[in-house]
Structure 1
């Protein structure tokens, strides 16, 4: 049973999401504010968080940032608007995925499951550990070390790194990365990829503005170095 923390201030949405997930065998923890969400996260240790952006008091974005300051729990944003600024800022704050409201419980569960799979899946390239410059990637323990110190990565960041580093120097389009990492089979939203790359670079690169590991192939996608 998956324990889902739902941080949503609209009672009708909160109730609808909870009923749909409970019907599918999940346990739900329901709160209406970011402050209560942080407290519930510490008290109950949920498996995943569904987070509304438009919250009273502490905003959803600030709640996401505060969660990421101490936890790598998977976060899926629930957003009422498909606005570039809202979506990108939310992803850059540390969310693993986003769902535009209104959304059916089937869609929400599918996106939740895809994110949760990233916490346990690793790229199957036949190696358990690989070293790339100052970076050590352990595919069994699902750990990444830089200069010998562990790097805390959110599930999507980890899976993106595992996927790219399994095929150094090979270039992947944004669409390929959406399909392999986010498991989006449709012609998807490349903001997910770009925002995750930005977060990953900030954690593993010495200078994110001149990346050594996650390199941009202009007009196409990304590849893994160093070359």
Structure 2
């Protein structure tokens, strides 16, 4: 599996290592699996049911399990649900991992107004 890069986040699935801005993250097995799964689909909203199936290998489960692991992962990424940087929850839909806005290249045509 290739090394995954999303902004300043690097995830190496083969070595099971993740770094944020060059600093290695100390992740549990489940936190790493969750991060690697989301990093393999940057910008894609992943439904909770899919997270349970792919990361937990369960067809059913408690959303609170996902919320707790996301909370721990957010803390290790230096963010909170109220101030997300990489992990974004879309209420009632799912979760997506994307680079911070500062890391996304500006692709507006010259002279275009910024989005408000």
Q: TM-score, normalised by structure 2?
A: 0.78
Within the candidate set 130, 137, 152, 2:26 is matched to 152
Give the CA deviation at 1:160. 0.3
Give the CA deviation at 1:183. 0.9
- Answer yes or no: is 1:198 the counterpart of 2:75: no
Give the structure, 1 or 2, with the largest relative contact order (CA under 8 Å, sep 6 or more). 2
- Answer yes or no: is 1:162 the counterpart of 2:5: no
Within the candidate set 130, 133, 145, 2:7 is matched to 133
Runs of at least 5 residues in structure 1 that lack an aligned partner in the other structure: 1-126
Give the CA deviation at 1:130. 2.1
Structure 2 residue aligned with 1:211: 84
Whole-angstrom CA distance in 2 between matches of 1:161 and 1:130: 10
Runs of at least 5 residues in structure 2 that lack an aligned partner in the other structure: 105-116
Whole-angstrom CA distance in 2 between matches of 1:201 and 1:137: 15
Q: CA offsets, 1:121-145, max 9 Å, x none?
A: xxxxxx5212222211112111001
Q: CA offsets, 1:124-178, max 9 Å, x none?
A: xxx5212222211112111001121110000100000000110111111111111
Matched residue of 1:144: which SS?
strand
Whole-angstrom CA distance in 1 between matches of 2:2 and 2:18: 12
Whole-angstrom CA distance in 2 between matches of 1:131 and 1:163: 12
- Answer yes or no: is 1:171 the counterpart of 2:45: yes
Q: TM-score, normalised by structure 1?
A: 0.42
Matched residue of 2:89: which SS?
strand
- Answer yes or no: is 1:189 the counterpart of 2:62: yes
